[in-house]
Amino acid sequence: MRVDLAVVGHGAAGLAAALAAAEAQPSARIVVLERTAQPQSGGGTRWSPSNLRMKSSAEVTPDFEADMIAATGGFGDRAYFRRLAREAPEALQWLERHGVEFHSPGYYLSVGPPRIQPVGGGGAIVDALANAAKAAGVNFLYECRAHKLIRGSAGGIEGVSAERADGTGLQIGASAVVLASGGFQGSPAMLREHLGEGAESLRPISAGSAHDEGEGIRMALEAGALAAGDWNGMHSEPTDPRSTGPAPVVLVYPYGIVVDTQGQRFFNEGRGLVHETWEEFSRAIHFSTPGRKAWAILDSRLLDIAGYERAIRSEVPPVRAGSLDDLAALTGIDAHRLRKTIGEYNAACTGDAARFDATRADGLGAADSLVPPKSNWARSLDRPPYLAWPLVGSIAYTFGGIATNDAAEVLGAAGPIAGLYAAGEMTGHFHGSAPNAVAVMRALVFGRIAGRTAIAWTNRNQMKTRQAR
Ligand SMILES: Cc1cc2nc3c(=O)[nH]c(=O)nc-3n(C[C@H](O)[C@H](O)[C@H](O)COP(=O)(O)OP(=O)(O)OC[C@H]3O[C@@H](n4cnc5c(N)ncnc54)[C@H](O)[C@@H]3O)c2cc1C
C-alpha cells in the first residue's frame, strides 16, 4: 500500500490529524491504522468525559500558559503550551462545525479552573471526527497494529509496518507518518520498568486505556526520537473495585477519612481540592497500603452536601452501617483499630464546623496533633449511618513519551526527524502531575497541527522529488 500520510491511532489526536490533513488537501491519500475493531476504537478518549480547561469553546482560561509552566514544575515547554492556548479555540470551534456541542455540567464538587465538556464526552469527539474523516475520503484499517517505522537511507520516515488481526503483515509506504497511539498504561512490563515494582498490577481506569501499550513510543525511539516527559509520571485516580462500569471514581474522600484495610489512616485527605490530590492519593493506595486497597469512610453529613452524587461515579452503593462495629464487620477492617482511628480523628476535629465548604479549600483543618494531618474539611464522623467505599488506584495515562516541538515534529538528536510527527498522550510534555483538563485539548490541538504540518511537508517533498527527476 502506498499513501501520502499514515496516521497511527484512532483517539482524539489521530483523528484530528487525519481529518485536518484531509481538509487541507482533499486529494491526499490518507490512512488511519487502529489496532482494535471499530467498536473498541478510541483509546482513552472514548471513555474520557473530556473536561477541557476553557471558559467556552471560544476562550481559554486566563493565565493558561503560566498555569501550565507551574503545573509541570517549570519543566514545561513554553512554546508548546503557548501554541496550545492560541489554537485551542480554533480547534474547538472546528469540532463544533463537525457537530460536537459543549456544555458546563459542573466538575465533581470542587471549584477550580473553568472547564467545559463535549456533550456525550470523548465518545462524541471520536465519532464526530471519525465520521467526518471517512466522509472526507480517509481510509480506515481497523484491527491493524503498527509495530515499526520504515526508514529511508537518509534517516527520514518512509512508512510503517503493521500486522492485521489474522497475523498477516502489511507494509505501508507513506511520505509522512503521524504517531498518535497513546501512552504505555496498557503495558504491564513498561509500567514496571518506568514506575517501579508493583506498577504492573495498576488497574486500567477504562477499557480503552488498556489498548495503549506504548508501541508508538517504542517505534519512535527506535527511529531516533528523543525521550521526553516524566517517565515516572502518570495520571491515576481512586476507583471502586466493585464496579463494572468505566472510570468508577469515588471523589468524596476529602470530606471523610481514608483508612487502609487494617484501619489506619495514611494520607492527608484534605490537603487540597480533589484534582490536586487524586494522583498522590491513588499512588499511595497502590504503592503503600497492604493489599493495595483502602476504604473511604464518611457519615450521613455527606448526604447534606449539595450535589455530592456528582463526585461518585461507582454504580455500587457504599457499605452502610449504623455503628462502627457493624461497619468494621461489613468491611473486614479490625473493629478495635477502626474505633481508635476514628476516635483520634474526631478528637482532633476542634474547628468550627460551620466553616465547612465542600467546594473550596475551607481551612477547616484538624488539630496539629493528628498524624497524618487533615488540612481542610475536618468534621468529626459521628452521625450514622456510616458509609464506606473500597478504593484502589487506577491508571488513566502515562506522561513519559517522545520529544516534539510546537509544530508536532518529532525531535531526534539532530533536530526534527523528516516525515515523522506525533501528538497526544505519547508526546512527553507533562511532568510531576497532570495539568487538570488539558490532555484532550492538547491531543486535539496538536493532532490538527500534526496533520496539517505533515501534509504540507508531503507536498513539498513530492514536489522536490518531481523536480529532481
Ligand atoms: C477515564 C478517563 C478520563 C479522563 N478524563 C479526562 C478529562 O476529563 N480531561 C482531559 O483532558 N483528559 C482526560 N483523560 C485523558 C485523555 O482522555 C487522554 O489523554 C486523551 O484522550 C488521549 O488521546 P490520544 O489520542 O493521545 O490517545 P488515545 O485516545 O488513547 O488513542 C490512542 C489510539 O491508538 C490506538 N493504538 C494504540 N497502539 C496502537 C498501534 N500499535 N497500532 C494502531 N493503533 C494503536 C488505540 O487503540 C487508540 O485507539 C481521561 C482519560 C481516561 C481514560
Q: Mean per-residue pLDDT for 67-86? A: 96
Q: State percent of the chain over pLDDT 70.
A: 100
Among 164, 170, 203, 425, which is best to mutate for testing ligand 1, by the most ligand atoms less than 8 A from CB? 425
463 pLDDT band, cuts 50/70/90, is: confident
Averaged pLDDT of the chain: 96
Rounded distance from Cα 162 to ligand 1 centre (Å): 20
Instruction: Tell me which amino acid residue 136 is.
Output: A
The answer, yes or no, to whether residue 111 has pLDDT greater than 80, is: no
Rounded distance from Cα 333 to ligand 1 centre (Å): 37
Convert the pLDDT of each residue in 152-169 to its tens digit: 988 899 999 999 999 999
Q: What is the pLDDT of residue 301?
A: 97
Contacts of 52 (CB under 8 A, 6+ apart): 88, 92, 102, 115, 116, 117, 118, 437, 440, 441
CA separation for the pair 118, 210 (Å, rounded):
23
Q: Mean per-residue pLDDT for 184-208? A: 97
Query: Could you give the domains of the chain?
Result: 2-233+399-468 (3.50.50.60), 236-394 (3.90.700.10)
The answer, yes or no, to whether residue 15 has pLDDT greater than 70, is: yes
Rounded distance from Cα 42 to ligand 1 centre (Å): 7
The answer, yes or no, to whether residue 107 has pLDDT greater than 80, is: no
Convert the pLDDT of each residue in 18-30 to its tens digit: 999 999 999 999 9
Convert the pLDDT of each residue in 389-415 to its tens digit: 999 999 999 999 999 999 999 999 999
Q: Mean per-residue pLDDT for 87-93? A: 98
Rounded distance from Cα 51 to ligand 1 centre (Å): 13
Nearest atom within ligand 1 for CA of residue 117? 8
Rounded distance from Cα 160 to ligand 1 centre (Å): 21
Q: Looking at the DSSP assignment, which residues form a beta bridge with residue 328?
A: none
Rounded distance from Cα 219 to ligand 1 centre (Å): 18
The x, y and z cell numbers of residue 43, run together, are: 483509546
CA separation for the pair 64, 330 (Å, rounded):
46
The answer, yes or no, to whether residue 110 has pLDDT greater than 90, is: no
Q: What is the pLDDT of residue 461?
A: 82
Nearest atom within ligand 1 for CA of residue 145? 42
* CB-defined site of ligand 1, < 6 Å: 8-14, 33-36, 41-45, 47-51, 122, 145-146, 180-182, 205-206, 209, 211-213, 215, 247, 396-397, 424-425, 437-440, 443
Q: What is the pLDDT of residue 467?
A: 84
Pairing state of beta strands 257-260 and 144-151? unpaired
Atom 15 (ligand 1): residue with closest C-alpha? 439
Question: CB of 103 within 8 A of CB of 44?
Answer: no
Rounded distance from Cα 12 to ligand 1 centre (Å): 7
The 10 Å Cβ neighbour count of residue 415 is 9
Among 95, 119, 184, 212, which is best to mutate for testing ligand 1, by the most ligand atoms less than 8 A from CB? 212
Rounded distance from Cα 394 to ligand 1 centre (Å): 15
Rounded distance from Cα 345 to ligand 1 centre (Å): 40
Q: What is the pLDDT of residue 440?
A: 98
Q: Mean per-residue pLDDT for 184-210? A: 96
Nearest atom within ligand 1 for CA of residue 212? 37
CA separation for the pair 452, 410 (Å, rounded):
14
Question: CB of 313 within 8 A of CB of 249?
Answer: yes
Nearest atom within ligand 1 for CA of residue 246? 1
CA separation for the pair 407, 446 (Å, rounded):
8
Among 440, 441, 444, 449, which is best to mutate for testing ligand 1, by the most ligand atoms less than 8 A from CB? 440
Rounded distance from Cα 122 to ligand 1 centre (Å): 9
Convert the pLDDT of each residue in 318-371 to its tens digit: 999 999 999 999 999 999 999 999 999 999 999 999 999 999 999 999 999 999
Q: Please name the residue that has the C-alpha cell 502489511.
A: 170
